[in-house]
Amino acid sequence: GAGVSQTPSNKVTEKGKYVELRCDPISGHTALYWYRQSLGQGPEFLIYFQGTGAADDSGLPNDRFFAVRPEGSVSTLKIQRTERGDSAVYLCASSELAGGTYEQYFGPGTRLTVT
């Protein structure tokens, strides 16, 4: 079956621009996570959705970052006024049930480069 998909796979943008990264989770999965991963590091938590609501957004680094999941399926991570330090691979993951103890299925990621 279809796994988690993310678009675009690569995004190059200039400093100061706005970007949107999209995640299509596995159909029916309740929980959705966004992470970002820099080279040589593990995934760093950004935000967690249960259904449509952001249950935990404590990982968002500042107010330039925002994410939505309006219908409880597709999610969009939005970054305003991008900075070079935002360059990383942004990973999305979903799990069948909420609760944290369930296996997460990761998408292939979006590599964001801010020049």
Partner 1 sequence: GQNIDQPTEMTATEGAIVQINCTYQTSGFNGLFWYQQHAGEAPTFLSYNVLDGLEEKGRFSSFLSRSKGYSYLLLKELQMKDSASYLCAALSGGSYIPTFGRGTSLIVHP
* Residues forming the site for partner 1 (CB under 8 A): 4, 31, 33, 35, 40-45, 48, 50, 55-56, 59, 91, 98-101, 103-109
| Minimal distance, residue 42 CB to partner 1, in Å | 3
CA 22-92-101 angle, 5° bins: 145
Are the C-beta atoms of residues 18 and 82 closer than 8 Å to each other?
Answer: yes
Between 4 and 88, CB nearer to partner 1: 4
Between 45 and 66, CB nearer to partner 1: 45
- Strand segments, DSSP code E, in the chain are 5-7, 10-13, 19-24, 31-37, 44-50, 53-56, 65-68, 75-79, 88-95, 105-106, 110-114
| Minimal distance, residue 24 CB to partner 1, in Å | 14
| Minimal distance, residue 99 CB to partner 1, in Å | 6
